[in-house]
Amino acid sequence: MPMKGESSKSKNGYFLALYIVVTVSFLFMVMLYERGYQDAWILDDIPVPTMSFIFLSLIVETHVSDNRLTAILGASFLAVLGLIPGLKYQLFYGCYDAVVHYGHVERLISLGCVPETGFYAPYYSDIPGMHLFISSLSLISSISVNEIFRR
């Protein structure tokens, strides 16, 4: 007869495997809708897969009994949602304002702090999350900001 800890580990493993399958399937479905133009809504053509991903992620995170695993799943959930524009559009932020976002990230890297002037400064200086992520990714990986924006 399995002990309580073993049962919990196997249940966590089952839910982790389910989450990985659902996440990979969702990302694949988003990539199927890749386009060279920006939709009116970022979830155009993918609301059902997105809602399914969110629903199944919540189920998995609710049933996992390890707090560390819950934190990891929550962080990966947010990262996956953040990947949607990069997988769906040929340019990371779509076509309309990618150049301005690029300039904001370039200024962020060159200044070493969040820019207080520029087109997006009034909008993103208080919450520069994705710009900081792209800047950090560029600095850590030595991949140019231009290449990151193209993918």
pLDDT, tens digit (0-9, with 9 covering 90-100), for 78-135:
989 988 887 887 765 555 676 777 788 888 888 888 888 877 788 777 777 778 888 8
Residue 84 shares a structural domain with residue 120: no
pTM above 0.85, yes or no: no
Residues 79 and 8 in one domain: yes
- 51 with 106, same domain? no
**Position 72 in a domain:** yes
Examine the domain organization and report whether 81 and 9 are in the same domain. yes
Range of the domain at 127: 98-150
Last residue of a domain, one of 88, 119, 136: 88
The answer to whether residues 84 and 103 belong to one domain is: no
Same domain, 104 and 84: no
Rounded Cα distance, 41 and 60, in Å: 27
Average of per-residue pLDDT across 39-53:
89
Claim to verify: residue 67 and residue 118 sit in the same structural domain: no
How far apart CA 42 and CA 116 sit, in angstroms, is: 27
Final residue in a domain of this structure, among 36, 65, 88:
88
Indicate the residue type of 143.
I
pLDDT given for residue 1 in this prediction: 47
Q: What's the whole-number mean pLDDT along residues 122-149?
A: 81
83 and 59, same structural domain?
Answer: yes
8 A C-beta contact, residue 65 and residue 11: yes
Q: Do residues 81 and 146 both lie within one domain?
A: no
In a shared domain, residues 9 and 72: yes
Q: Identify whether 102 is part of a domain.
A: yes
3-state class percentages of the chain: helix first, strand second, coil last, to nearest 5: 70, 0, 30
49, 23 in Cβ contact below 8 A? no
Per-residue model confidence (pLDDT) at position 46: 92
In a domain, 93, yes or no: no
State the average pLDDT over residues 58-83.
90
